[in-house]
Amino acid sequence: MFTDVSALIARNVPAPRYGVAAFDRGADGGAAFFVAGFGAPNLVLVWLGGQLRDVTPPVLADPDRLAIGVAAGDVDGDGREELFVLNSDTFAGPKQFADRLFHVDPDGRWTDLFSRPGNKAARNLSAGRSVAAVDRRGTGRYGFAVANYGQPFRFYELAPNGHLTDLAPALGLDRTTGGRGLWAGPLVSDLTDLFCVNERGPNFLFKNRGDGRFEEVAGEFLLSDPDEHARGVTALDADGDGRLDLCWGNWEGPHRLMVRGVDGTFKDRATPAMALPGAVRTVIAADFDNDGYEELFFNNIGEPNRLFGQTTPAGPGHDAIRWRLLDPGPATEPEGLGTGAAVADIDGDGVLELLVAHGETTPQPLSLFKVPPNGNGWVRVKPLTRFGAPARGALVRLTAGGRTQVRVIDGGSGYLCQMEPVAHFGLGPVSHVDSVTITWPGGATRTLADVRPREVVVVPHPEA
């Protein structure tokens, strides 16, 4: 399916790299990839002059830290996304180097909020893996959930006095396990829930109680999977019923495609080919070929990557959908040491790019893949918070051609990673969009009836 366009990455030198986040640089900056460097400089890559170029400010490069996970979100309500960079200098338990929370000033300068007076005591000095941006109250101000390994999970917000505070104990999130992947969105409530896939213990599903606190309910929804060792996780409507389902990869164990039933619980619908164990890292759901149906990409380390697509049009009911193994082409990367990956339409042509990071055992260059032009239509929807930042966690529904597609503006997914803050919809041959409905984390909704194909629609918050 894919073609290799890695030659478009300028100065693509081999290096040990891990998580990737696609973030928004503000009204004048456009989209960018942040790539975590593990003993190598972090990268900020933007599309400039027909290439993906490194424009990393020195403070973000931070070459002396061991960056592994990353996520973006507007923590202070200034309309710009901060960057939470999770550093892990040990496998589990206490660590030496704290995480970073990079804030950008109006003049474009970046500073680490954890380095400010009053914030040092709150620093995360536990080895972690993934991080996700969560608007738990629907205010447009985000907190960052951190999946630690062998130490309690963290949840950072700015307190009224402007200091960073770990609210995990007060919110019911301070569990200790082998934390791995995170996904944030409206899964089993109307607000932002947090699903955590873990190693050496059951998964967690933190349901938003509506008062800003959370209740752990993974067992109630049959999502615990306690005997496996998870890595990457994503959400999608896997059976065409208009509700979100989950897919995650288990390290050398059966991968899961958990589809929600009429009683609200989830059941594994992974095909034998999809469930086949492997050395999985990131899992991504995206419509790479714009045919109107999402694919599932499993990024592996030291073995071929795998890609799955739908064989028949999706419709209501579990039996209306079939998944089959596709040929990823060059994106198979049988010798690739995959560690993280993210998607974004970085060049603005309406087709998603897939950026894959490598490393861990041997430094390797980044890879960039995309599907060749095929004539399929598309629509891209970018909801904003009341402050003008990307509304991560918002639910977007598009109805066209007799079907409704569902996307969530990503707060964190894959493994160590975060996708672009845009709902990307392929349309295939459909030439008319009936409607687009956005539901923000706080419950505000807006329906658009004048969306045209091949447009990027920026949608302000109704209360902005």
pLDDT at residue 131, as a whole number? 98
Question: What mean pLDDT do residues 40-60 have?
Answer: 97
pLDDT at residue 318, as a whole number? 44
Which residues, at least 6 apart from 462, have a Cβ–Cβ distance to it below 8 Å?
440, 444, 445, 446
Dist. CA 293–CA 397, nearest whole Å: 14
pLDDT at residue 82, as a whole number? 97
pLDDT of 16 above 80: yes
pLDDT at residue 106, as a whole number? 86
Q: What is the pLDDT of residues 223-265, one digit of tens each?
A: 999 999 999 999 999 999 999 999 999 999 999 999 999 999 9
As a whole-number percent, the residues of the chain with pLDDT over 70 amount to: 97
Q: What is the pLDDT of residues 316-340, one digit of tens each?
A: 544 567 899 999 999 999 999 999 9
pLDDT at residue 26, as a whole number? 76
Spatial CA neighbour of 441 closest among 383, 382, 398, 379: 383
Output the furthest CA–CA distance in the chain (Å, rounded).
57
Dist. CA 294–CA 43, nearest whole Å: 28
> Strand, helix or coil at 188?
coil
455 beta partners:
379
pLDDT at residue 313, as a whole number? 56
pLDDT at residue 358, as a whole number? 98
Which residues, at least 6 apart from 375, have a Cβ–Cβ distance to it below 8 Å?
none
Q: Which residues of 329-356 are buried (b: 16+ CB within 10 A; e: fewer)?
A: eebbbeebbbbbbbbbbbbeebbbbbbb
pLDDT at residue 111, as a whole number? 96
Structural domains in the chain? 3-459 (2.130.10.10)
pLDDT of 169 above 80: yes
- What predicted TM-score, i.e. pTM, was given to this entire model? 0.96
pLDDT at residue 30, as a whole number? 83
pLDDT at residue 28, as a whole number? 62
Residue type at 301? Answer: I
Q: What is the pLDDT of residues 430-459, one digit of tens each?
A: 999 999 999 999 999 999 999 999 999 999
pLDDT of 57 above 80: yes
pLDDT of 190 above 80: yes
Q: What is the pLDDT of residues 266-318, one digit of tens each?
A: 999 999 999 999 999 999 999 999 999 999 999 999 999 999 999 765 455 44
Q: What is the pLDDT of residues 354-368, one digit of tens each?
A: 999 999 889 999 999
Tell me what the pLDDT averaged over the chain comes to.
Answer: 95
pLDDT at residue 377, as a whole number? 98
pLDDT at residue 108, as a whole number? 85
Q: What is the pLDDT of residues 104-124, one digit of tens each?
A: 998 889 999 999 999 989 999
pLDDT of 387 above 70: yes
pLDDT at residue 196, as a whole number? 98
Q: Count Cβ atoms below 10 Å from residue 219 Cβ, excluding itself.
A: 13
Spatial CA neighbour of 423 closest among 439, 434, 442: 439
